[in-house]
Amino acid sequence: MIRSLEEAGYRVRGVAGTSIGSVIGGLYCAGRLEQYEQFLDSLDVGGIIRLLDLRLPIRGFLGGRRIESLLRRLADARMIDELPIPFISVATELSEGVEVRLSHGDLAQAMRASYAIPGFFTPILVHGKWLVDGGVSTPVPVLAAQSIAKLPVIAVNVNSSGQPQVAQAFEALAPTNGEEEAPANEPKLFSTLSDSIAHLQYHLASYQLKIHAPAFVLEPGLRGVGLFDFHRADELIEAGRLVAETALHSGELQLAIDEAALLLESS
């Protein structure tokens, strides 16, 4: 998606990201998105499971440290302040539920805070605050993006009301404790958590996008994609490319940007 916009002559002047958007945005601003894509191309379901440090579910099923270490290596241990493109990682302060914008400090830690999906990943302590996934408060961080520069904002909404259950491999992590075989299609632990979070974020994103409207919203067709389907990178990248090029070729994107630019100039 970003590559399609760049090839069409658009220059990204800053990025604000939530959850997986924080990971993609942070690595893009660090100039390391290609390396991330190459890593994802090498993954299968087994590789994803090895990245997820399973733990006793006191604060979350997954520690998240292995992914954070991977992101730190991919980003060359960069600090947000050093990035050539301004970046804000959006997380949520757990006790109050308010949006927290991380625009300074350790890039990998900021991304880790933003993807700390409640119930899955443990919260992370940053600057004395326990932080969880930014999607809890702000699934699509339009206002954070607007704070970077007085420019039109192109939002990317990957939230869907039709996200499926987590892959069978993750259901296998939940023990049955000798219980009888469940009826067909009965929701299980991981699918219940992931589907509930997906639905909540879909409705919250829809509401916030109406209140804080960006210049344009790109919504890739991700129906059937789960929270941990990183091994489907090629498919996801293609979905992003398709929606971006459709908006570009129709002229709708440029028209929306021009209209937003005029409003900003007059404000």
Q: What is the pLDDT of residues 116-151, one digit of tens each?
A: 888 778 889 998 999 999 999 999 999 999 999 999
Q: What is the pLDDT of residues 105-117, one digit of tens each?
A: 999 999 999 988 8
CA–CA distances in Å: residue 40 to residues 32, 131, 232? 13, 26, 8
Q: Find, among 259, 260, 205, 249, the residue nearest to 5 by Cα.
A: 249
Which residue type is seen at 143? L
pTM above 0.95, yes or no: no
Q: Is the pLDDT of residue 181 over 60?
A: no
- Residue 53's φ and ψ, nearest 5 degrees, are -75, 90
Q: How confident is the model at residue 237 (pLDDT cuts 50, 70, 90)?
A: confident
